């Protein structure tokens, strides 16, 4: 048996066609027993004729993902004239869904590729949030879409991750009286910085719970009211110097704070 050749014609990259055809081929042959020739970005009849002529010479199977119904019709009938086996990979699905949804498809090539780009952008944002969490590397401040500034236990990390799921690159900077914030913080655009404020009473309660969870005594300096007041006073100095918006997170869920942040960014942009 001769080695089968499969031409894959697409009005985009042709990745969908290749995945479907390869999955089907595995039921008959292994990866070394066939050849795939991908023909991406084919969007007119003249180019289709050239591809089908080449497929005829190779006595190839043709698989195609074309969202334009006129081009699908053209391939179908040209393949019949040439005696080619042609597989319309996406057409029957589009036609069935058109009946179900009672609306015409958008007929825009490459939408799945756009979805892939959105997915990878989100993954990149999540990795960014992890890398530049808790002021680990101040170089992330300039690259970030959003910079969160706050004392310990103001939900900087969960907020960073939540916003990353919306594809925003977020860096967060902890504010500690004994440590000067990185110079990068004052050199970046203050409009993308958000201060996270919290009441001393709420912070005291949160930190006591944190100490208990760690098996430590509640009266540690970390949760002492005097220490908390010092940290909040230093935080106020920093955000005043930055001139950035401040959100009181004392009684807000992460989702609520995230929505406020996005609203503020829209206002500032």
Is 152 assigned a ligand-binding role in the annotation?
yes
155 is in an annotated binding site: yes
Q: What residues contact residue 210 under an 8 Å CB cut-off, 6+ apart?
A: 153, 222, 223
Condensed to tens digits (0 to 9), the pLDDT of residues 213-250 reads 888 988 899 999 999 999 999 999 999 999 999 999 99
**Which band of pLDDT confidence, cut at 50, 70 and 90, is reported for residue 1?**
low
Q: Parse the chain into domains and list their residue ranges.
A: 5-109, 117-268
User: Per-residue confidence at 4, pLDDT binned at 50, 70, 90?
Assistant: confident
- What's the distance, CA 158 to chain centroid? 17
Question: Residue 197: helix, strand or coil by DSSP?
Answer: strand
Domain 117-268: which topology? Rossmann fold (3.40.50)
- Residue 213, pLDDT score: 87
- What is the average pLDDT across 109-131? 80
207 annotated ligand binder: no
Q: How confident is the model at residue 103 (pLDDT cuts 50, 70, 90)?
A: confident
Has 12 been labeled as part of a binding site?
A: no
Tell me the β-bridge partners of 174.
150
Taking all residues of the chain, what is their mean pLDDT, rounded to a whole number? 91
**What's the CATH code, domain 5-109?**
3.40.50
Residue 150 is assigned to a ligand binding site: yes
- Please check if 156 is assigned to a binding site: yes
- Alpha-carbon gap, residue 40 to 34, rounded angstroms: 19
């Amino acid at each position: 048996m001769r080695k089968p050749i499969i031409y894959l014609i697409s009005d985009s990259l042709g990745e969908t066609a290749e995945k479907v055809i390869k999955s089907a081929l595995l039921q008959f042959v292994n990866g070394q027993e066939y050849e795939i020739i991908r023909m991406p970005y084919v969007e007119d009849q003249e180019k289709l004729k050239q591809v089908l002529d080449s497929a005829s010479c190779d006595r190839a199977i043709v698989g195609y993902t074309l969202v334009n119904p006129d081009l699908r019709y053209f391939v179908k009938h040209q393949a019949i004239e040439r005696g080619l086996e042609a597989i319309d990979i996406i057409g029957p699905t589009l036609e069935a869904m058109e009946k179900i949804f009672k609306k015409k498809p958008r007929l825009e090539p490459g939408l799945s590729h756009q979805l892939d780009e959105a997915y990878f952008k989100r993954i990149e944002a999540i990795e960014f949030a992890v890398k530049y969490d808790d002021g680990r590397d101040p170089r992330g401040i300039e690259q970030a879409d959003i910079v969160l500034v706050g004392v310990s236990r103001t939900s900087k990390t969960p907020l960073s991750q939540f916003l990353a799921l919306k594809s925003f690159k977020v860096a967060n900077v902890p504010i500690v009286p004994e440590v000067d914030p990185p110079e990068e913080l004052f050199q970046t655009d203050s409009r993308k910085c958000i201060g996270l404020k919290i009441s001393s009473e709420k912070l005291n309660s949160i930190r006591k719970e944190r100490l208990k969870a760690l098996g430590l005594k509640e009266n540690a300096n970390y949760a002492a009211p005097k220490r908390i007041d010092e940290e909040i006073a230093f935080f106020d100095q920093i955000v005043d110097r930055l001139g950035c918006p401040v959100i009181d997170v004392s009684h807000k869920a992460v989702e609520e704070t995230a929505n406020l942040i996005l609203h503020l960014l829209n206002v500032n942009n």
